Structure 1
Amino acid sequence: MNLLNLFKISLRAVANNKMRSFLSMLGIIIGVAAVIIMMSIGQGSKESIRKELSTMGTNLLTIRPGADMRGGVRQDPSSMQTLKMADYERIMREKKFVTKVSPEVTASGQAIYGNNNTNTSMYGESTDYLDIKLWDVEEGDCFTDEDVKKAAKVCVVGSTIVKELFGNVDPIGKTIRFKAIPMRVIGVLKSKGYNSWGMDQDNVVIAPYTTVMKRINAQTYFSSIVCSAITEELSDAAIEELTQMLRDNHKLKGEAEDDFTIRSQAEMMETMSSTMDTVTIILVVAAAFSLLVAGIGIMNIMLVSVTERTKEIGLRMAVGATGPVISLQFLIESVLISVTGGLIGVIVGVGASTFVSSFGMPSSVPAWSIYVSFIVCVCIGVLFGYIPAQKAANMDPIEAIRHE
């Protein structure tokens, strides 16, 4: 009997038991769909993060206070006070591979205008900040070096602040209060929307760093310092240059550990990609367990099918069908169930991923995941169909015909 005839017989057997076949496929459908969805979300998130980081400038460098060791306990970097005005001044004075620099001071609180208020973050920056972050002022102007020098009570705000506090009122020239300090709005930033972590980038107030240091926080240190290397290729040279300046300023000698960290945008992209890959693998492995359970389900259904069709198997053997032919028939049935379930699962998975992406969640179905799903389904069909197929092939024809 040729392979085509065996395929037709197997297809007829699967079609004759539609409900049983569908229940056998259900586990495969759910498993494959879950794997496709997890892969698409992981891949989409990784691409979204890469795109987002690249829009900040591929030559961006960020200096943060290091996690110092005190009494054998590693401290939270946000509590460190190692970045001072002297560091910023030296970088500005001696930089060779860096073009723009902005010290950064942060504060959280309520912004108030009239009877409206909203929770937000205030960032104290230099006039270089918006150029470093590739961020434009859509309306009005940014503060000037003179504003920074005088610690002027002026600010630029994101579109969310405008919406929450001002509604349809023109915000330019209006005064908001942040931690009881009046701040005059002189500009509105171009909207950036939400980032990959679900944070609203437009819910922000940016003011001169001197204003935030002296008038808001009353502190003498920076939360961080952001810089732009001349080019992406010179980022490593810029990091080396900055490291030497800061070690000299902080009087760190020999093998003494840095009390600061400098990270390039490329390093951040690599770290985020690695993290997303790990998360995706964990999610895919968890989803793949359902495929294992589905395979066991197919094997059980096929064993029941072999038992029910014992007389049919005996008759076919009596008219000349060999054990390998019988075995191949049941293997084909098992693979048919598995692959059909896999194809439906792919359709469901791709459809669900498309549906999810319509709500703004990053999602991208890798083409290779569809091919891998097909191969895995074939393997599941063969692996879990082998025992039922062998049971059918090893039947004694006479005993099988007598079976009731």
Structure 2
Amino acid sequence: MLQSFKLALKSIWSNKMRSALTMFGIVIGVASVIILVSLLNGYMQNQLSQWADLGAKNINVTVVNQPSRSVSLEDMYAFRDANSTLFEGVSPAVSPGNGTLKVGSVKSESTTITGVSETYAALTEKTVAEGRFLNYADVVAKQEVCVLGAYPAQKLFGSSDAALGQNVTLGGKNLQVVGVLTRKSKGRMEESGTDDVMLLPYSTALRFSGTSKPGAYVFSTASTDKAQASAAKQALQDYLYSIFRDKKNYHLMAMSEMLDQINKMMAQMSVLMGGIAGISLFVAGVGVMNIMLVSVTERTREIGIRKALGARPGVILQQFVLEAITTSVFGGLIGIGIGSGILNIVTIFLGYSVAATPSAVFISFTVSVAIGLLFGYMPAKRAAALNPIDALRSE
């Protein structure tokens, strides 16, 4: 085995250009699998973290209040109190209308603006980096105050600490910044991203929008247990149906269910992208087989001499198979290095972390070795089956 391996290395080294061209297909195939699967995985993980930041225990509820059938804030609080074993809390989520923030000539037109209660931060696991969060007094007095996300604070004021105590204009009304949320995104902050938010008291948002009842609520379940979360959602559905008598007038979205769907979609897309990139590995395998067939043809006389000197067919077979596998192994290792290097460069431009997925590395490398074995076997078998006399006669 060791002698066959040494001969395989010697053959690869003595035909550098041919070996390099053979490896090139393997390198491209392995690098493609690693890059495509890892990029997809990184993107989906980034999206998953943004959804998770909204609260894995949350159920978002939207309602369409009718003159004859409607639900009030007091009704929702009473429902939560009656089902305290299922729900940790509830907060209204009111959109105040005009979503453009201004500070002088600087504007932020994509910021998500929501009117919430003082419990919203705890329900959605948000923390404050500067200042404070909204409190009960702000809600009762309909104070014109707000808490900014890290992105609008940076864009409008230059930094989070500089934003504290300043005024920002929303729809012609001035709101004082009493707090800035802790940054959520791990990479570069983006417009319309997780950090591009502004929160104000829901009572103030209702006054700005000219409505008396919230059209959306955020419920937080008491547990992340799927059975209990499902029971909480069902109880909420039953309650809303008893009021509206029409499912078209309300909609529920459980964040835990959304996270499960994203995970399933991520797994399916990873398999799909891996399969597409795997086609290049198959093509590389055909290249390995062709080059090995050429190698057998060129070395027919050498094979005849070795067989005449007593080399068994199994030894000849072993040597050529090892040569194909060694070529694939080296190509796979180089492909892993190139793929990982490209991902490190791409990370700089994407703004979020993308690392080589261990499963993609393992699968692509294993497939490259298997390709060397599979596509190298037929040429090796042909070499082992050569008649020594015919081989010696070849030119």
Smaller-chain TM-score bracket: 0.7 to 0.9
Deviation at 1:22, TM superposition (A): 1.2
CA contact (8 A) 1:328 1:389 kept: yes
Task: Give the equivalent residue in structure 2 for 1:19.
Answer: 17
- 1:60 match: 58
TM-score, normalization by structure 2: 0.84
Query: How has the CA–CA distance of structure 1 residues 367 and 175 changed in structure 2, closer, same or farther, with 3 Å as cutoff?
Result: closer
- Tell me the distance in 2 between the aligned counterparts of 1:146 and 1:28: 66
Indicate if the aligned counterparts of 1:108 and 1:121 stay in contact, CA closer than 8 A: no
Query: Of the candidates 273, 292, 310, which is equivalent to residue 283 of structure 1?
Result: 273
Equivalent of residue 353 in structure 2, options 337, 350, 362 = 362
Contact 1:38 1:284 in 2 (8 A): yes
For structure 2, which runs of at least 5 residues remain unmatched after alignment?
none
- The within-5 A match list for 1:109-128 is 109-119=99-109, 120-128=111-119
Pairwise CA distance, 1:342: 1.1
Q: Distance in 2 between matches of 1:279 and 1:347?
A: 24
Distance 1:11 1:161 in 2: 60
> Is the CA contact 1:44–1:364 (under 8 Å) kept in the aligned structure 2?
yes
Contact 1:90 1:245 in 2 (8 A): no
Hey, what does 2:318 align to over in structure 1?
328
8 A Cα contact 1:48 1:196, kept in partner: no
Deviation at residue 346 of structure 1 after TM alignment? 2.3
Taking the TM superposition and a 5 Å limit, the aligned residue runs for 1:86-105 are: 86-95=71-80, 96=83, 97-105=86-94
Deviations 1:102-160, CA, capped at 9 Å, x for gaps = 22233463211223222223112222212211222333344444543554433222233
Matched, 1:229 2:214: no
Q: 2-side partners of 1:212 and 1:93: how far apart?
A: 22
When residues 399 and 21 of structure 1 are mapped into structure 2, their CA distance, relative to the original with a 3 A threshold, is: same
Which residue does 2:302 correspond to in 1?
A: 312
Q: 1:230 to 1:196 in 2, by over 3 A?
A: farther
In 2, are the aligned partners of 1:124 and 1:210 still within 8 Å (CA)?
yes
Q: Any stretches of 5+ residues in structure 1 without a counterpart? A: 66-79
Give the Cα–Cα distance (whole angstroms) in 2 for the partners of residues 63 and 196 of structure 1: 31
Q: 1:139 to 1:328 in 2, by over 3 A?
A: closer
Identity of aligned residues (%): 34
Deviation (angstroms), 1:319: 2.4
Measured against aligned partners, the alpha-carbon deviations of 1:267-295 in whole angstroms (never above 9, x if no partner) come to: 22211111211221121111111101111
TM-score normalised over the length of structure 1: 0.82
Shift of 1:369: 4.1
Aligned residue for 2:196? Answer: 203
The aligned residue for residue 348 of structure 1 is 338
**Residue in 2 aligned with 1:174?**
166
1:16, distance to aligned residue in structure 2 (A): 0.7
- Aligned pair 1:339/2:332, yes or no? no
- 2:27 is the counterpart of 1:29: yes
Superposed CA RMSD: 3.2
- Provide the rounded CA distance (Å) in 2 between the counterparts of 1:270 and 1:197: 25
The whole-number CA distance in structure 2 between the counterparts of 1:258 and 1:195 is 39
Is 1:301 matched with 2:291? yes
CA distance in 2 between partners of 1:92 and 1:177 (Å)? 31
Work out whether residues 52 and 195 of structure 1, in 8 Å CA contact, stay in contact via their aligned partners in 2: no
Deviations 1:328-354 (A, max 9, x none): 322221111112211222233334445
The aligned length equals 383
1:144-182 Cα offsets, whole Å, 9 max, x none, are 445435544332222332332233784444332222233
- Measured in 2, the distance between the counterparts of 1:202 and 1:394 equals 68
Alpha-carbon separation, structure 2, partners of 1:194 and 1:105? 28
